[in-house]
A and B are shown apart, each in its own frame.
Chain A
Amino acid sequence: MEKFEPIVIAFCCHYCAYTAADLAGTMRLQYPFNVRIIRLPCTGKVDIRHLLEVFEKGADGAYVAGCLEGDCHFLTGNLRAKKRVALAKKILEDAGIGGERLEMYNMSAAMGPRFAEVAREMTERIRRLGPSPIKKNAKRIEHSAERKEEQTAEGRAQSA
């Protein structure tokens, strides 16, 4: 069987984890290509809807990486993200996707090696868990995505 390569989405704060990823690159540190980064102005911007949407779009895992607790550029954004991640984990668990596919991490902008370590850790965890249960029906997901687009197009036509 082909080795499973998971898709892991990383929601990274511009002021810490994103800069740490940049530093990891500058330091020529290797980290898994599985991790796809989405930059946020602050992890406080992350919404439960975004966290669930990545799984709907076919991600196998996701994590939110914010500043160290007490060091948030906007004071408490990372603490808010922490609570939202906790709730999203519960929702994923209830939905049968598995709460362990989502995690919250904290790091500073100077922690390039830690960024690479977290990327490896999360990729390994998801690899161990296997593909997301929704992937079995990937074709149908595409189908419903198309429908959604059609619906939005319809909506636009109606409002015009």
Chain B
Amino acid sequence: MRYAFYEVREMIIAESKPIKDILAMVEPYERILVVGCKGCVTVCSTGGEKEIGILSSALRLARQARGKPLEIKEATLERQCDTEYLEPMRVYADGYQAILSLACGAGIQFLAEKFRKHPVLPAVDTQFIGVAEEQGVWTERCQACGNCVLDRTGGICPVARCSKSLFNGPCGGSKSGKCEIDSQVDCGWQLIYDRLKELGQLEKLEVIMPVKDWSTSRDGGPRKRVREDLKI
């Protein structure tokens, strides 16, 4: 790899919504703010400066073609998940009727919390936490279960990579290293087995993993992390 630095970039992956869906969302408005984010969605080419340029252009063209022009102000914030980057938008936000955000679901919600007077609309579908396997290809790696077991599974996550999130796999649906859900999808447990074999740590598979406590994951409700030493 020539550009080893770019080889793996973990991030939140999102996908643009169809233009017709976005047009339907902005239909009642004449002046909107289109806000991108320079974080994850820029790296996965969904909601950065370039993508807001393309989307805004498409929206203006579509509305102009119907004789109902849409005025758009484009802005790309450093991040939409931090108050300090959202606040400067107050200077000009009042002149617009709605805010269309191209950030991940977290960014869109934070924006909606901070700008109470504006309807905040999503222009992307947030999909997963993943990596850029190659230019233009992203795949899932983590489901944020809140209790990492990668030390026991050769650095391959059974939660995210096994379709059933099994902890003592593989299941009977594993065939020639592929998963039964799709012949293109690797069997997560085959990957774990191969990797542990490479590392000479196959004995780790003999340890039966206990039933997972999912309370650290979504089953425990919305999660919160506090670091008292950082609070002001």
Contact = CB atoms under 8 A, between A and B. Distances in A.
B54 A55 contact: no
Contacts of A132: 65
Given A94-B18, A94-B19, A96-B66, A56 B61 contact: yes
Contacts of A56: 57, 60-61, 64
Contact of B57 (A49, A137, A140, A141): A49
Interface string A122-146: 0000000000111011001100100
Contacts of A53: 57
B73 A55 contact: no
Q: Which of B20, B53, B57, B60 has the most CB of A within 10 A?
A: B57
Contacts of A133: 64-66
B64 A92 contact: no
A137 B67 contact: yes
Interface string A42-82: 00000111001101100000000000000000000000000
B57 A52 contact: yes
B62 A95 contact: yes
A48 B73 contact: no
Given A91-B19, A140-B69, A144-B69, A52 B58 contact: yes
A136 B68 CA distance: 11
A48 B54 contact: yes
B64 A137 contact: yes
Given A48-B54, A52-B57, A134 B65 contact: yes
A151 B67 contact: no
Contacts of B61: 52, 55-56, 92, 95-97, 134
Given A147-B71, A151-B73, A95 B54 contact: no
A91 B65 contact: no
Contact of A137 (B19, B53, B69): B69
A47 B53 CA distance: 11
A135 to B, nearest CB: 9
Nearest to B19: A94
Interface in B94-122: none
Nearest to B54: A48
B218 interface: no
Interface in B4-34: 18-20
Interface string B34-78: 000000000000000010011001111110111101010100000
A91 B67 CA distance: 18
Interface string A18-56: 000000000000000000000000000001110011011
Q: Name the 9 nearest CB pairs between A and B, nearest first.
A: A133-B65, A95-B62, A52-B57, A94-B19, A134-B64, A95-B61, A96-B65, A49-B53, A95-B58
Interface of B: 18-20, 50, 53-54, 57-62, 64-67, 69, 71, 73
Interface of A: 47-49, 52-53, 55-56, 91-92, 94-97, 132-134, 136-137, 140-141, 144, 147, 151
Given A92-B61, A95-B58, A96-B66, 11 more contacts: A48-B54, A94-B18, A94-B20, A94-B58, A95-B65, A96-B62, A97-B61, A133-B64, A133-B65, A137-B69, A144-B71
5 contacts: A92-B58, A92-B61, A94-B58, A94-B62, A140-B69
